[in-house]
Amino acid sequence: MDSRLKRYCILGSMGVILLVALLVLYVNREPQSSAGGRTASQTQTASQTRSPEITYDEYGERIGNDLSAFLKDTTFFDTEENTWLVEKLEDQNRLSLVVTSVERDLRIQVVDREGIPVTGHSFIVELEGQGEYKDLDQDGVVYIGGLNSGEYYVSLQETEGYKVPINPTRVQVKDKVEYVFIDDISLLIKTEEDIDAEAEDTGIQDADEDRDKSEIRELQTALDNTTVGIDVSKWNQEIDWDKVKAAGVDFAIIRAGYRGSSTGSLVVDPYFEANIRGATAAGVKVGVYFFTQALDEVEAVEEASMVLELVREYSLDYPIFIDTEGAGGTGRADGLTVETRTLVCDAFCRTVENAGYDAGVYASRNWYNNRIQADQLESYYIWLAEYRSVPLYEGYYHMWQYTSKGSIDGIEGNVDMNISYMGY
């Protein structure tokens, strides 16, 4: 905001204050005689009831009542004379930098006084010794990869209408990924109101292509050391969890969110909170899963950190799973190599376990056999999706999703059904 606009804003505010003050004086004015002046009795009564600390002029008016006197002060609106007012206005637009590193990279977030990323501006940051980087998509985040490990200094260039930090921010670029929770991950979490959900939430169950006619579509009866449950997301819409519990469901694996298959945004499932609260209140044990579209270990740590942030206030009975499957062939992670996809799953699970939770991997039989190195993930809980009466998968698994077309009281439409062998 330039100085002329600030001056107009101040004038307008003062004008409103003056108008209100004059209205108050008018309403509370002392009664006048019919001749337009005070009567002797009125003057005497007023003088008797007035506080001795207040001074009045010869007309009975309180000295200091001229609320427009500031208009006669030629320096009142002089910004050079009233720097405190300018500083107060500038403080409202003060920016800060939040800088983190996962592995030979920097994520620089431009935030306001409340710690919220500032969007809609092409901010330019300068990395000492490296050059300038521009926030091209104006999301308040600048990502710089391929850096050597070591100490760096980051500065934000001046931006019209904002007050930027005077001193550069010092940060240490890490040499190798650390599978730990990212403190500022909440700044990256978005809702579906922030994105094009139709274009971003495009996961396709690969197990659908592998089903046969023997698929079981009813909730199974729990046997010794087994429990029966469901997994749900926004696609199941509102759920009557009391009815679900009464129908015999022991547990529910609830989708916490997903990474957008196009932009890579981290998005919370719009029904996550309602589902985990509703299930817990009904006595249904809970775990969570996250649909990944991570391209590397760094993004996998981000995804795990997002889930850890979302479940912070809840108690989980079942693991936190990474859901690895396709996104229609055009998803940003659909073309990953087997090795990279395995590293992504491992990084996610390591981060979850390092935070004190159990971790697992969800995939179809085809993906376990052909799209990831399942033998390198056997230290985690394996959740298999295969829609037939008896799975053909030859590897070991801890939970089996046996149908995506189940039906149960309390949920409209199809629902995924599972058998757990975890002994919970």
Half-sphere exposure (CA, 13 Å, Cβ side) for 365?
17
Phi, psi of 219 (to 5 degrees): -65, 125
Which class is 96-173 in CATH? mainly beta
Phi, psi of 313 (to 5 degrees): -95, 5
Buried b / exposed e across 3-30, counting CB within 10 Å, b at 16+? eeebeeebeeeeeeeeeeeeeeeeeeee
Cα angle 359, 257, 206; round to 5: 75
Separation in Å, CA 3 to CA 6, 81, 83, 112, 177: 5, 13, 12, 21, 47
Q: What is the pTM of this model?
A: 0.74
Half-sphere exposure (CA, 13 Å, Cβ side) for 190?
20
Largest CA distance in the chain: 110
What pLDDT was estimated at residue 43? Answer: 44
What pLDDT was estimated at residue 42? Answer: 47
CA separation for the pair 119, 311 (Å, rounded): 27
CA separation for the pair 392, 211 (Å, rounded): 11
HEC-encoded secondary structure of 380-392: CEEEEECCCCCCC
CA separation for the pair 14, 2 (Å, rounded): 19
Cβ atoms 401, 360 nearer than 8 A:
no
Cβ atoms 402, 419 nearer than 8 A:
yes
CATH superfamily, domain 185-420, is Glycosidases (3.20.20.80)
**Residue extents of the structural domains in the chain:** 1-29, 96-173, 185-420
Closest by alpha carbon to 18, among 72, 76, 81, 67?
Answer: 67
Cβ atoms 179, 347 nearer than 8 A:
yes
What pLDDT was estimated at residue 85? Answer: 55
- Cβ partners under 8 Å of residue 137, min gap 6: none
Q: Pick out the chain residues at pLDDT < 50.
A: 32-52, 59
What pLDDT was estimated at residue 39? Answer: 45
